Chains A and B, each alone.
Chain A
Amino acid sequence: MMKNLADKKRKILRKVYGALSLSSALFVFQACYGTPQDLGMDVSIQGSVKSKATNEPIAGVKVSIGNLPQYEITDNEGKFVIYTSRDSIYNVKFEDIDSTKNGTFSTKDTIVKIIDDSTSLNISLDVE
């Protein structure tokens, strides 16, 4: 109880001293040999890809966003997570790139609107 009160007091003082020191970078610092802190400029798009015909997960599907070079491949459970720049609308593309290895499926493009830091998609692909 006393420790919590002391912690609260110190956190208030932190703001007071920080403001009075007229220093703009007290709260966002950087170790002298480290990177800037990551303050979160990206969002995650995650989800799973299934076969529309069998409802089974599809592994090996390439998931990409717009024209960006980065992509992700779905795992054995058809799941993926990809991190991308914070934006309002995304064009997410699902491509079967492993030939007949996990079946043959049509490519699908989906427009996604993201409001939060993370969005989940459940995608079904047609059998070709």
Chain B
Amino acid sequence: MLNKISQYFQNRFRINETQIHELNYLFWECTQRCNLRCLHCGSDCISDSKNKDMPFEDFLNAILPLKDSYKPNSITVVITGGEPLLRDDLPQCGRILRENGFRWGIVTNGFAYNSTIHAKLLSAGMGAITLSLDGFEDSHNWLRSNNTSFKNALQALDLIASTNRLFYDVVTCVNSKNISELPDFKDFLISKKVKAWRLFTIAPIGRAANNHDLQLTNQQLTQLMDFIAQSRSDKRMDIKFSCESYVGKYEMKVRDSFFFCRAGINIASVLIDGSISACPNINRHFVQGNIYNDNFLDVWENRFEIMRNRNWTKTGICLLCNDYKNCNGGAMHLWNEKQDCITTCINDKIKNQLQATTVNSQYDSSLKSNAVP
């Protein structure tokens, strides 16, 4: 009952936030170059992208007008890629962002992260970082398609976890290969003094769209939810499921807050070609403008209707779903240009698994009661 009341006010909160649509979180896809070729990459990045790195001045000039409407220190610029560490001017970009009042952080695979770049980024005012670590050595190296990626990421982890001033977390893409090692991996991260661990599933987009080995079965998905829910009582590390999907009965058990996809509501991005969108992994069909043709602030204030009014998502499997009012069509990155059905629904998978478990246990009970002594 209490959960239903909380969910009701969460839904009111979401509607209210949508009306305010205050920009707090801005991705900059500064490069599409990458030093790894991960099996699950949502951006499908390659070592030598056809898109050149965006000149920092272009990005800066696009976002400076934000200072007229926002306190820049209320906006975190999240520099992503590709792999942002491949840009030699990364510390300089960050420094100029700070000089203009913006706060900033990076999302990295950790492969090129060492003590020199760590010191440079901190000196330039980096305040947040997310590091990918996808299980123990074999699992991580398999997903990252590189035999030394785990070793390098671990070096990055030691540097990051020893820096108290950083807001950081470790993210793990859970798949059928690493799910069984999660309990041991949790202990490993705690031994490394990691403060925050976020777990994802792998969305069937980008390079992962055609790799079914990366997807969890329904049973594994509920196993993951149960693992996170139970692990959250361990206060040595903040453990949570990413805000990638509504998770039905696991809402508030696997995260601190209810599901709320803020793409286009509080989150925007400037992509490698100047496109203005929300999260970089959202289908490029939903691009709202381009910094080379449009005023970024104007686009933020006056477009993004497709993300602020999601009634159009009540289609496909969402059409008759009882949870739609809480889920609101799920995460934007799970919709493609056809806009006819969400590509995957974690809540649906969880419900199917729970139903299957119930049927199986009823069947077992009936076998026992009918058994001849």
Contacts and interface: CB of A to CB of B under 8 A. Distances in A.
B98 A36 contact: no
Interface residues of B, number: 69
A35 B167 contact: yes
Interface stretch (B46-54, B117-125, B180-188, B360-368): B117-125
B73 interface: yes
A30 interface: yes
Interface residues of A, number: 40
Contacts of A37: 24-25, 76, 103, 128, 167
B106 interface: yes
Given A40-B103, A69-B115, A35 B19 contact: no
A85 interface: yes
B104 interface: yes
Contact of A81 (B24, B95, B256): B95
A37 B73 CA distance: 11
B20 A10 contact: yes
Nearest to B252: A23
Nearest to B255: A25
Interface in B115-158: 115, 118-120, 122-130
Contacts of A13: 12, 16
A35 B130 contact: yes
Contacts of A17: 9-10, 12-13, 16
B266 to A, nearest CB: 7
A33 B279 contact: yes
A23 B10 contact: yes
B258 interface: yes
Nearest to B163: A85
Contacts of B200: 32
Contacts of A92: none
Contacts of A72: 123
B136 to A, nearest CB: 23
B80 interface: yes
Given A7-B20, A71-B119, A22 B6 contact: yes
Contacts of A83: 98, 122-126
Given A26-B257, A70-B119, A85 B164 contact: yes
A26 B198 CA distance: 17
A28 B313 CA distance: 26
A14 interface: yes
Nearest to B25: A31
Given A17-B9, A20-B6, A33 B280 contact: yes
A2 to B, nearest CB: 14
B272 interface: no
A44 B98 contact: yes
Contacts of B5: 20
A38 B198 CA distance: 17
Given A31-B262, A38-B127, A10 B19 contact: yes
A35 B94 CA distance: 15
Contact of A35 (B106, B164, B243): B106
Nearest to B99: A81
A121 interface: no
Interface in B194-214: 196, 198, 200
Nearest to A14: B16
B76 A38 contact: yes
Contacts of B73: 40
Contacts of A29: 24-25, 243, 257, 260, 262, 266
Contacts of B130: 34-36
Given A35-B129, A70-B120, A85-B164, A21 B16 contact: no
B58 interface: no
Contacts of B243: 29-32
Given A23-B258, A32-B243, A38 B119 contact: no
Contacts of A40: 73, 103, 127
A42 B73 CA distance: 12
A35 B256 contact: no
Contact of A32 (B13, B95, B120, B242): B242
Interface of A: 7, 10-11, 13-14, 17-18, 20-26, 29-42, 44, 68-72, 81-86
7 A-B pairs closest in CB distance = A38-B127, A17-B13, A25-B256, A38-B103, A20-B9, A35-B105, A83-B125
17 contacts: A10-B19, A17-B9, A17-B10, A20-B6, A21-B13, A24-B256, A26-B10, A32-B242, A33-B280, A35-B105, A35-B130, A39-B167, A42-B127, A70-B119, A70-B122, A83-B125, A85-B165
